[in-house]
């Protein structure tokens, strides 16, 4: 079948398979929500299995203990693979990694925030009823790790009610303003 969009592909040799899985799953969900919303669950499950390749098929057939019905259910496949790819690292190691994260040269604000969010998921920061603790930590690390000092100062000047969305918006605006000042155009990928 020909498509007008890139086919999701899982890099089985990736150093961080958990992150690789998260991106693969997000790409699949985006396709099934926006482009192929009319596909039946059985069809979606078939595409997921096909896109996972031979290694994924082997995993589904031998190690994930999926019933015949589950193999036709994209939610069941995603759940089984979420469990399989769940990082097996200590939460304190993940917190240390998060605390050291900084915006890479040329990295957009959105890409940086996406990396922060993915890492924060493994930190066991959230309370039982909300995501406030995780969100606050992502805001803190955005401020600490953003590459532009003026953006850092602007974010630190905000009140305690600063939301992640507002922090991202302010950082984007500063990046956009800085790009206009230097005469370069920086594309900002929206990935929140």
Fold of 91-182: 1.10.1200
Give the tens place of pLDDT for each residue, 26-82. Answer: 999 999 998 888 999 999 999 999 999 999 999 998 888 899 999 999 999 999 999
User: Residues 112-141: pLDDT tens digits?
Assistant: 998 888 888 777 776 545 556 788 889 999
Q: Which long-range contacts (CB under 8 A, 24 or more apart) does 45-53 make?
A: 45/71, 45/72, 45/73, 45/74, 45/77, 48/74, 48/77, 48/78, 49/77, 51/7, 51/8, 51/9, 51/10, 51/24, 52/10, 53/9, 53/10, 53/12
Whole-prediction pTM value? 0.49
Domain residues of the chain, as ranges?
Answer: 17-85, 91-182
Coil, helix or strand at residue 24? helix
* C-beta of residue 143 within 8 angstroms of C-beta of residue 116: no
């Amino acid at each position: 079948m020909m498509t007008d969009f890139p086919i999701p592909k899982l890099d089985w040799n990736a150093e961080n398979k958990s992150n690789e899985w998260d991106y693969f799953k997000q790409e699949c969900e985006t396709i099934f929500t926006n482009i192929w919303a009319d596909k039946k669950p059985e069809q979606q499950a078939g595409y997921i299995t096909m896109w996972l390749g031979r290694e994924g098929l082997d995993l589904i057939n031998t190690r994930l203990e999926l019933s015949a019905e589950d193999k036709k259910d994209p939610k069941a496949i995603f759940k089984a693979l979420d469990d399989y790819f769940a990082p097996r690292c200590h939460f304190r190691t993940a917190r240390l990694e998060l605390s050291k994260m900084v915006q890479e040269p040329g990295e957009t604000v959105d890409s940086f925030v996406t990396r922060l969010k993915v890492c924060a998921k493994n930190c066991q920061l959230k309370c039982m009823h909300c995501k406030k603790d995780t969100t606050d930590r992502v805001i803190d690390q955005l401020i600490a790790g953003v590459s532009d000092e003026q953006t850092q100062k602007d974010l630190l000047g905000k009140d305690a009610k600063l939301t992640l969305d507002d922090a991202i918006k302010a950082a984007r605006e500063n990046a956009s303003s800085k790009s206009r000042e230097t005469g370069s155009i920086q594309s900002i990928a929206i990935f929140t």
